[in-house]
Structure 1
Amino acid sequence: MMKKTLGIGMVGARYGARMHLANYRNLPPGLVEVRGVCSLTEESASAFARDAGISFSTTDLNRLLAREDIDIIDICTPPASHHEIAIKAAEAGKHLIMEKPLTGYFGEPGDPEPIGLRVPRAKMRAGARRNAEAVRDAVRANKVIFCYAENWVYAPPIVKMRRLIAASSGSILELRAEENHSGSNSVFSKEWKYMGGGALLRMGAHAVGACLYLKQWEGEQRRGKRILPVSVMADTADLIHTEASDRARKAQAHQWISSDPTDVENWANVVIRFDDGSRATVLVSDVGLGGLNTRVTAYMTDGLIKANMTANDVIETYAVDPATFASENFTEKLETKAGWNRPSCDEDWFRGFSTEIADFIQAIGERREPLAGIDLAVDCVNVIYAAYQSAEEGRTIQL
């Protein structure tokens, strides 16, 4: 008996939505069909619909949710709208795919502007937790599947790392996770009220998510229950607006870094303590040149495993003229194609995007939890906002 083709409604029509669309198209025929798109403006919705070859576009979310031929809502909007869209979609009985992060704190009536410089992080943490729990409650109450688009969980290097951990008899003593590049492409990334934070939330969600996932998985394998985070200590900064950066600006030696935040951080360092005594160290930066750099290292009692999701040397190039390979993609955020470079041979696969989409569709079809689901999404918000409070108050925050 042939399974039903799952209908997808996209919410958002820019970079994330187009990336998801490309990976839906890589699935076997007949599994899914993108049947509609909703965006803030008719222009962006129509452009996405035209490029995707779909007939329905709208600026009204309720019209998309009312369509009976749409089974899944894929949320690729800025984080400030995530939780409200997710709750409405769950209440409409739609399964959910959501780009990270799940949610955050985006301000309340009476908050002084800019909120990232003037609202206490303890208040933000409480608000972010309320938003996250409201989504989880809606997902469970309406019995829909929530798929959290944390691609690091699905990246082949992390999958292999998990298998290597399983093959050993040892334990993870420390995880070190890192992501660096020279600044976000998003116009929303500069302001807390749109993003819910800076590099720590936007990029650190990957690194924190991978560390939480690996420790939870290790606990289930080793002791039959998850290993959970119990405290967080952190430091954050806006390194582009410092005396060091001012000197570089005067010397015209800063133009390659696009990061220019209004009230968010572009650098963060976080230490997570787990209930088995182990640690995870997360370092993220929006001021790192050299293209996207992502990696996780597992320091174990009987071995060491390094997982590099970018900067691999499977292919190496050299060019004097940066235009030599201009028409071919190398890797995200790379400033120049001159000199020596290491282009990714299949970035969507190697970084886990294609695998996560395949698992999400299979999970929804089978009515099971995906590898990355609602609990991981909520845990990431809780840890990251505890880190924000730690950085502001200069102390360890208990979870």
Structure 2
Amino acid sequence: MSTVPTNTNPVEPASRPTDQQDERLRDRSGLRGGISAAIDQIRGGDLGVLPVVLGLAVIWTILQILNPGFLSSANLVNLLMESSAVGVIALGIVCVLLVAQIDLSVGSVSGLSSAILGILFVNQRWNVAVAVIVAVLVGTLIGFAYGQIFNRFGVPSFVITLAGLLSFLGLQLFVLKGNGTINIPFDSPLVYFAQLAFVPPILSYVLVVFAAGSLFLIGFTNARARRRAGLSARSSGLIAAQSVALLVVLGLVAYYLNITRGVGWMFVFFVALVLVMHYMLTRTKWGRSVYAVGGNVEAARRSGINVRWVYTSVFMICSTFAAVGGILAASRLASASQSSGTGDVNLNAIAAAVIGGTSLFGGRGTAFAALLGIIVIQSISSGLTLLNLDSSFRFIVTGIVLLLAVTLDSISRRSRTSHGRA
């Protein structure tokens, strides 16, 4: 008598997504699944932006208690405007840190670009657009030179950019020799953009709606593409809830800032750069290559990634953003001088990238790290200024926050390593 064979390995139901046919993988498509995924991510050591958000909340609470004017609309508007120039420089630092390298010369490059702008636009009376393009291209060429030296001779980026810090500071002084300080006319479009240009209230709400709508459209499109590929995806309800939350938060922020001057176009420009770099890092082949090189350079090389081009590209982006930040800073101050780019510009840009959540070990971080990190640093500076405290306290507090950020990064990295082994 024949017997019917028993199937000891039943076929997985077709309704289960391909990437969740292993029972150890949870369903993360709904709200509960999303919360579970976030909890598992934190337990695995990937804290994301949670530490910096909590830290910013604590800093704002303390400063508001010490000075009730800290969270006023007027002060927050000024805080965001002051964050933009160094924030753009920090955005370039994020790209370099993602491949586990460093650029110590961003302050000097920013100062040199502002000096070139002043000489060409004010002294030589060049067209403002042409002067800006030349100043930015100088930064791009500097980054390209860094990449070539790093790739061809294997000189550590620390040494290359330290030499650049000294050399370009000297070049800045040479360019401004005999001029000292060059005042940029107040009626120029640069100064207007950095000091007086604010988004009209109605347009600010339109931008808020556009941001929330874009988040929903991108999330819905990605979810539909994953479902077509047989993969799990977030539910439409969860995507809609996130979009509504963003709409409410940004709407309240815009309303509060519009009580006084509103949202500055220079800050909008900074945020736009952050969004562009976020897209480049998360949605392009180049971005995936950057994370791959930062995670394991040898594995990236063996997988066919052009590692040399990745290094060159991030150095070029970093120096280009340094030049742009220098132009914004000069426009904000309406002057280019021998002190432009010096002081704490260099340290604040690097500290902002690290405080915002970019790992010094490479391979982890986002473009939003520059935005969050510089807001933390500028909040400390603004709050202590309102309290009439000496600048020494600002350096002390910023240094402590930086140390805490690096410590958290080291702990989370160790936790991820042990979690992966388990």
Q: If the TM-score is normalised by the length of the shorter chain, which range does it land in? A: under 0.3
Larger Rg computed on CA atoms:
2
Q: Which structure shows the higher strand fraction?
A: 1
Q: Which structure shows the higher helix fraction?
A: 2
TM-score where L is the length of structure 1 = 0.25
TM-score where L is the length of structure 2 = 0.24
